[in-house]
Structure 1
């Protein structure tokens, strides 16, 4: 039963620390509630008009392309470090296919015009 008491004590200490921090913040933080501070703020865009406006998907495409090519780089670096010591010709062919697929994807994205900012 002692193990459960230790878990309960740690949980209570965590709750007490959160409550103490929240209480200190209420005592020390300034309270200047102006109308400008009470408005909704979303990603640097002022809340003008209705909330049902169409946004640009172009930024999402750039983010996805970055993630795809960053993850690919994560696979390329370890492979390049051990290619001479442990991996053989089969690994070289597999990596050539992998890079070939990446090049085809990049050419496809470039041909569709998704790499332009305007």
Structure 2
């Protein structure tokens, strides 16, 4: 029991020494302009707010959200394959995939997937 207490004391003292040493050696900046400002979509909040933003950023954000929603819907469908009726699951899955393909075709037809514009 005494050996455990000695080991614990040594580890505790070493941890305190390392934390004290790091506190004195670290670079601390109390006032940092970048850390004190809010971050909104890569814009400088102190600049003029009516500047146009890149449409590419908006398209990437929308495609990312669509991808997240697809994953949220597809993963439970995979788990339900074992416990549900096969015909019902197949109709639901095919309907969902058809809706995704129609949406992809609509984006492609309207030129929303062209990144060079």
Q: TM-score range with shorter-chain normalisation?
A: 0.5 to 0.7
Distance 1:41 1:79, change over 3 A: closer
Q: Which residue does the alignment assign to 1:52? A: 50
**Where do residues 1-118 of structure 1 align in structure 2 (5 Å cutoff)?**
29-30=28-29, 37=33, 43=42, 50-118=48-116
C-alpha displacement at 1:87, in angstroms? 3.0
Aligned 8 A contact 1:58 1:114 in 2: no
Superposed CA RMSD: 3.2
Distance 1:41 1:89, change over 3 A: closer
What TM-score, normalized by structure 1, do the two folds share? 0.54
* CA-to-aligned-CA distance 1:63-111 (integer Å, 9 cap, x gap): 1122112211221122123313323312211221111011100111112
* CA-to-aligned-CA distance 1:31-82 (integer Å, 9 cap, x gap): 578xxx58x796276x77x442211233212211221122112211221233
Aligned 8 A contact 1:109 1:115 in 2: yes
Structure having greater relative contact order (Cα 8 Å, sep ≥ 6): 1
Gaps of 5+ in 2: 1-26
Gaps of 5+ in 1: 1-27
Pairs aligned (count): 86
